[in-house]
Amino acid sequence: MHVAAVIAAGTAGEAEQQARACLRRGADLVEFRIDALRHPTAGDLKRLASALGPRAIATLRSPAQGGFRGVDRDARHALLLEACRLPFRYVDAELTTDAERLAEYAKLAKSRAKDLIVSHHFSAPASPEEVGGILDACLAQGRVGKVAVPVATVEEAAALVDLARDRSSSRFALVGMGAAGMLTRALAADTGQEIQYATGNRETAAGQLGLDAALRVRSKDAFVLGILGRPLGHSFSPEIHEAALQAVHLPGVYLPFDVAEASLESFLSTADGLHVRGLNVTIPYKEKVAGLMDELDGDAEALEAVNTVVLHEGWAKGHNTDTYGFRTSLRSLGLRLGGRRVLVVGAGGAAKAVVHVLLREGAEVAVANRTAVRAEALVDAFDDDVGLLAPEEAPRKGPWDLLVNATPAGTAGMEAVLPVPEAVLDRTAFVYDLVYNPPETPLLAAAKRRGVRGTNGLEMLLQQAAQSFELWTGKSAPYEAMRRAAWEAAA
Ligand SMILES: NC(=O)c1ccc[n+]([C@@H]2O[C@H](COP(=O)([O-])OP(=O)(O)OC[C@H]3O[C@@H](n4cnc5c(N)ncnc54)[C@H](OP(=O)(O)O)[C@@H]3O)[C@@H](O)[C@H]2O)c1
């Protein structure tokens, strides 16, 4: 499989410069999107062909097929004929081109020993039968067939992967567009695709892999990691794990899996065949996924919640690395909590993991949540004594050695509210906010105004991510690279 960096630049000079940079980074090929040039001319084609032709695909897409700028049909025809004459490695023409012209390109390309890619871009989702039929039509006209189709669900992407595996004796590219379709790109080598189209100077298609990721999964041993949830709000996990995979040169990618609850079980059962080796699990599936595992580790079993899944030869083991992340970050902060009074705000999965760790550290724990019944259920889930109070009572029931916010209150994009009355900070020694975006949350800002020390959830996130990475890959986590990626994502 060749990795082609897609170059969409306004001038031929800029395109050449960007293409050279991508080839230096390791791309096998570049795809020049001639339709992105401001005024594409035969002179531009000549310049690009003489500079980098043998390592380039020339593509001139029409607006109806996703082209950047309108070039009229006859001018496009003249440019495509010229591209077929010039020493490009491949020329891409659309299946919808009229048959006579397409035959002319095929003949000319053949006489100049280059490969004609005949391509089709669906504008709306299509059934695997329809996609297969169009791919066959492309293959009948060109040396290489390329079909791109929007994909809305992981099931649709998996169907495309099956279709690609059926065509593995042909020369083709079959791309699922959009975040759900990234799986088809991750498995491009495994499914025998001719070309992986990766981001060159800018993303030109939804779900396109970055050049580094595309180069990593060039091998047939490529594997997939990802985050499972619905909806997938903005998490830093993709940035952190992509940086880790890149730092230790592993042939993997980290993808978003936005899966409907009804499809969770079937997704987990097919994941192995899709080379998914590991998953993070986030809201709202941590408990549900725990019930679907073949095995649970100690913390996941105690909490009946899984945030990390390791898949190996059809066996799914659930772990809870939130506990490790929280415990390790407490240690790195030097917080010793034996006999100390801690208030945990929130009663969801994160609060449960936090209470679990705090009890084991020997702390005296109380829980406050805006919905009382949920707090009661959390308290009841533990054999040890856990106090229960309403958020409004928090100031009066202090002092607190530690206040942990285990709610999303204060997260970027949400209303800047505090999960407990601000007055509680007058009687609190240290604030630990699990929220990490923004880095200074409203609760931490309020604490700072009072001279109360605190931390956000970034260190916990990093520690839990490091442990997940080690469970999936068996390699030590490149912690500094992961931390840098998290800081960059937070900036
Ligand atoms: N730093 C890390 O590594 C890390 C790890 C895990 C989680 N987290 C963060 O921790 C937070 C909670 O996660 P989770 O998995 O426990 O979520 P969850 O299961 O959905 O629980 C959310 C909890 O927060 C409460 N809540 C939601 N919005 C609130 C608001 N505006 N004011 C007061 N309370 C509110 C909910 O109260 P009700 O019961 O009343 O709905 C519920 O108790 C999230 O922001 C998550 O990103 C961070």
Q: What is the DSSP string of 80-138?
A: HHHHHHTT-SEEEEETTS-HHHHHHHHHHHHHTT-EEEEEEE-SS---HHHHHHHHHHH
CB 134 within 8 A of CB 147: yes
What does the pLDDT read at residue 181?
97
Please tell me the distance between residue 369's alpha carbon and the centre of ligand 1 in angstroms: 10
> Are 232 and 136 part of one and the same domain?
no
100: containing domain: 2-220
> Are 372 and 246 part of one and the same domain?
no
Cβ count near 24 (within 10 Å): 8
What does the pLDDT read at residue 233?
73
What does the pLDDT read at residue 33?
98
CB 122 within 8 A of CB 104: no
CATH number of the domain that residue 167 is part of: 3.20.20.70
d(Cα 479, Cα 316) in Å, to the nearest integer?
26
Does 485 reside within a domain? no
Cβ count near 399 (within 10 Å): 12
Whose alpha carbon is nearest atom 45 of ligand 1? Answer: 408
Does 169 reside within a domain? yes
> Are 427 and 450 part of one and the same domain?
yes
CB 427 within 8 A of CB 448: no
- Please work out whether the CB of residue 461 comes within 6 Å of at least one atom of ligand 1: yes
Please tell me the distance between residue 220's alpha carbon and the centre of ligand 1 in angstroms: 40
> Are 36 and 152 part of one and the same domain?
yes
For 457, what's the count of Cα atoms within 13 Å in the CB-facing half-sphere?
Answer: 28
> Are 245 and 159 part of one and the same domain?
no
Does 290 reside within a domain? yes
* Atom number in ligand 1 closest to CA 461: 3
What does the pLDDT read at residue 198?
98
For the chain, the 3-state helix, strand and coil shares in percent, each to the nearest 5, are 45, 20, 35
What does the pLDDT read at residue 94?
96
> Are 52 and 69 part of one and the same domain?
yes
> Are 305 and 216 part of one and the same domain?
no
d(Cα 398, Cα 401) in Å, to the nearest integer?
9
Where the chain has pLDDT below 50, the residues are none
d(Cα 266, Cα 437) in Å, to the nearest integer?
33
Does 481 reside within a domain? no
CB 412 within 8 A of CB 235: no
Does 473 reside within a domain? no
> Are 234 and 142 part of one and the same domain?
no
Does 479 reside within a domain? no
Residue 305 has which token pair?
Answer: 């919640």
What does the pLDDT read at residue 432?
98
Structural domain count, the chain: 3
Q: Which of 173, 195, 220 is the last residue of a domain?
A: 220
Residue in 357, 405, 407, 483 to alter for ligand 1 test, most ligand atoms within 8 A of Cβ: 407
What does the pLDDT read at residue 169?
87
Residue 68 has which token pair?
Answer: 């950047």
d(Cα 171, Cα 240) in Å, to the nearest integer?
35
Q: pTM of the prediction?
A: 0.93
